Chains A and B, each alone.
Chain A
Amino acid sequence: MATLSPQSPNKYTYGFHVKEKYSFKSQKGLSQKIVKQISRHKKEQAWITQFRLKALKIFLQKPLPGWGSNLSKIDFDNIYYYIKPINSKAATWKDLPLEIKQTYDRIGIPEAEKKYLSGVSAQYESEIVYKSIIDSLKKRGVIFVDPQTAFQKYQEVFKPYFASVIPISDNKFSALNSAVFSGGSFIYIPKGVHVDMPLQAYFRINAKNMGQFERTLIIADEGSFVHYVEGCTAPIYSSDSLHSAVVEIIVKKNARVRYTTIQNWSKNVYNLVTKRALVEENGIMEWVDANLGSKLTMKYPSVYLVGKNAKGHILSLAFASNKQHLDAGAKVLHLAPNTSSTIISKSICKNGGRTSYRGLLQIEKGAVDSKSFVRCDALLMDEKSRSDTYPTINVKEQKTDIGHEAVVSKIGEEQMFYLQNRGLSQEDAQNLIVSGFIEPIVKELPMEYAVEMNRLIKLEMNGSVG
C-alpha cells in the first residue's frame, strides 16, 4: 500500500549536476569514424564493429517515423554519442570517485543499497562504474554484467540472442542504438533459478548534449524468475538530449520476467526506447512502465507470445505536464494458442501536458482460445491539457476473447467537495485523487520505488502550477 505523507514536499532535488570529469569524450555527431572509435575503445571483436557499422548505415537510410510526435527538431549532429567517465570500473562503493558518490547520495542510492544490499548496478553516463552482485547469485550461475564484459567473457551465452528479438532494422532508433550502444545490462538466469530480490540499475545523463544508448539483454532460462528494476532521474539542461535504449528479453518455457521502469528524465530529453520480450510456452512477461519525465517519450513495451499458454501483462503509467508529450502504450502479439494478455494504461496530464496511449493488439490465425483485455484510463487535470487514445486491434482468429475499455475523466467537483468537507485543501484533495488513480500501478512497484513515485508525482502536481 502506498503511504501518504501529509507534509508538503521539498523543492525538486534532482535538477542538479556535478562537474563533468571524463577520461574520454567522442566528438559530436555520428560517422563511421566515431563508431569505429567507440568499438576500438571498448576493445571489441571484429564482428561487433561490423554490426555497429551495418547499423549506422541502416540508421542513416531510414527516415524518421511519420507517426507519433514531431522528431524533426532532434539535431543528430549536435550529440555526443560516447562518453567514458573514468578509466576502470569500481568494485565497491568505497572505490567510487567522490563526485559520483555525491551524485548518488543526492538520489539516495546508499539507502537503497543498505536496504537491499544486492544487485545494485549503477550506471554513470555510458559506462557501468559500480556493480555489486551478492556471491550467492554468482554461485547459482546468474550472469549480470555490462555488454562489454558480456562479449568478452560470456559471448557463447549472449551472442545467439543479441539483436534476435529487436533486429537492427526494426526502426530508426533501434538502428541508432545498435550503432553506438554503450552500457546497459546483460543478464542470464539459469534453468530453475529464482532471483528473489529485484536486480536494479540506476543511471543518469550528466553531460550537455550527450546521448545515452544503453543496451539490455535478459535471458530467463526454463523455469527461472527475475525482476529487473531501472529507475532514473536526470539533471536539467537547456539543450536537447537524446536517450535511445534497446531492451531485449527472452522468456523461456515456464519462466517469468518482470521489468520495472521509473523514467524521470529532465524535461529536455527525447526518450525513444524500443523494448520487446519474446515469451515461450507457459512463460510470463510483465512490463511495469512508469514515465514522468522527458520532453518527448515514445515507448511501447511489447510482448510476442510465441509459445502456447504464454502470458503477457503490461502496466503503463504516464504523467505529462507543461509542454511534455508522453506517447506511451503497449504492443502484444498472440502467435500461439491459448495465450493471454492484459494491458492497463493510466495517464495524467496537467498544465498543458499531453499524453497519448498507442497500442497494438494482434491475434494471428491459429492463436485459438487466446484472451486479451485492454483498459486505458486518462485523467485530465485542466482544459489546457490533452489526452488521446490510438488503439489498434487486429484479430485474424475468430475463436478468441477480447475486451477493451477506455475512459477519460476529469477530477469531479463533487469528489473535490467531499474531500474538502473533510478538511483537505484543494491541493491536497487533488493529490489524493491522483494518488488513488495511479495506485493500481504504484502498488506493483518495489516499496522504495513506490515511495519515490508518490513523491515525484506530488512534486509534479505542485511544482508546476501556473
Chain B
Amino acid sequence: MNELRINHLTAAVEQKTVIKDLNLIIKSGEIHTVMGPNGSGKSSLALTITGHPSYKTTPQSQIKLNSRNILPLSPENRARIGLFLAFQQPITVPGVSFINFLRFAKYSHNKTTNQTPPLKDFLWELKSCAKKLNISEGFLYRYLNENLSGGEKKKMECLQALVLKPKFAIFDEIDTGLDIDALKIVAGVINELAKNGTGVILITHYQRILKYLHSDKIHILVNGRIVKTGNSDLAFALEKTGYSVFAK
C-alpha cells in the first residue's frame, strides 16, 4: 500500500502564488477527481507534484511518497520512484519514434532495480496495452506525438501510463478531445490502473468521464485552494450550480 501525502503545499510560478496551503492524501487504488474553474490551479498542482522547474514551493510545503519527501527530487527521480503525469498538451519530439522513446523510459525506470527489459517482452507488453486502448500498431512506430490529433495524443499518454505502471498517476484533462467511444476506453484504462494499485488524480472540467469510472473523492479547487471535498454526487450537483457558489 502506497500513500501520496501533500501537506501545506504552497507554490508559485513567476512570483504568482497559484497553490495555497493545499492538503491531500491519496492511497493506492484510489481515484481522486480535482475539478475547478479555469485558472484555479489544477494544472499547477499537477506540475508542482511532478517537479516542473518553473514552480517554486515554500519551505513549509511537503509532498511525501510513503515516508520520503519528494520535493528535493528532480523530475526524473520523481518519475523513477513512481510519479507519472499524463499531460494536458503532450509535447512533440520530432524524429524520435514512440517505441524507442518508451523503451528508453521503461529502461530509465528500471535503472533503480538494475533490470533491463528484453526487447521481446517489452514489445509484447506494449502491443497488448495498445490493444486495450484500441491503438493500431502503426501509431507505435510514429514520431513522438507528431501529426496526431488531440484525442490520439491523449490515448498515447494513457498507453505510456499502462506500460510504466506508476504508483501515482495524474491525468490532466485526459477527457478533452476524446469522442464518446474513446472516452469510455480511457475511463476503462484508468479504472484498470486503479484496480492494479495505481493511485489516480484525475483533473477535469466535466463530470462526463465520471459516468464511466468510480471516483472515490471529488475535490473542488478554487483559487489555489481545495474549497470542498465530497463523493461523486458533488460532481453531478456542480452541473447545476456551477462554480460560482464556491468562488467567494
Residues on A lying within 8 angstroms of B by beta carbon are 1, 3-4, 6, 412-415, 417-426, 428-429, 432-433, 435-440
Residues of B within 8 A of A429 (CB): 76
Task: State whether the Cβ of B138 lies closer than 8 Å to any Cβ in chain A.
Answer: no
Tell me if B143 and A436 are in contact (CB < 8 A). Answer: yes
Binds A, one of B12-20, B36-44, B103-111: B103-111
A412, A419, A438 — most chain B CB neighbours (10 Å): A419
Give the interface segment out of B80-88, B187-195, B212-220. Answer: B80-88
Contacts of B164 in A (CB 8 A): 422-423
Residues of B with C-beta under 8 A to A414 = 91
Q: Are B108 and A436 in contact (CB under 8 A)?
A: no
B104 near A420: Cβ-Cβ < 8 Å: no
What size tier do the contact residues of chain B reach? 35 or more
Q: Closest CB-CB distance, A184 to chain B, in whole Å?
A: 34
Interface membership of B53, Cβ < 8 A: yes
CB-based contact A435/B74 at 8 Å: no
CB distance from A2 to the nearest CB of B (A): 8
CA distance A6 to B100 in the complex (A): 10
User: Would you call B104 and A433 a contact (CB within 8 A)?
Assistant: no
- CB nearest to B93 among chain A residues: A436
How many residue pairs bridge A and B at CB < 8 Å?
Answer: 89
Q: Is the CB of A425 within 8 A of B76?
A: yes
Please give the distance in Å from B87's CB to the nearest CB on chain A: 7
- List residues of chain A with CB within 8 A of the CB of B51: 420-421
Q: Which residues of A contact B53 (CB under 8 A)?
A: 413, 417
Q: How far is the CA of A463 from the CA of B171 in the complex (A)?
A: 38
A440 to B96, CA, bound (A): 10
Contact of A418 among B90, B95, B108 (CB under 8 A): B90
Please give, as numbers and ranges, the residues of chain B lying within 8 Å of A428 by CB-CB distance.
Answer: 104, 108
Alpha-carbon gap, A440 to B101, bound state (A) = 17
The answer for the CA separation of A418 and B75 in the assembled complex, in Å, is 9
**A423-B108 CB under 8 A given contacts A432-B96, A439-B96:** yes
Given contacts A4-B104, A439-B95, A439-B96, whether A420 and B76 have CB atoms under 8 Å apart is yes
A-B contact pairs, 10 of them (CB 8 A): A1-B141, A413-B53, A414-B91, A421-B50, A423-B80, A433-B93, A436-B94, A436-B143, A436-B144, A439-B95
Closest CB pairs A-B (n = 5): A436-B95, A439-B95, A423-B108, A436-B96, A422-B105
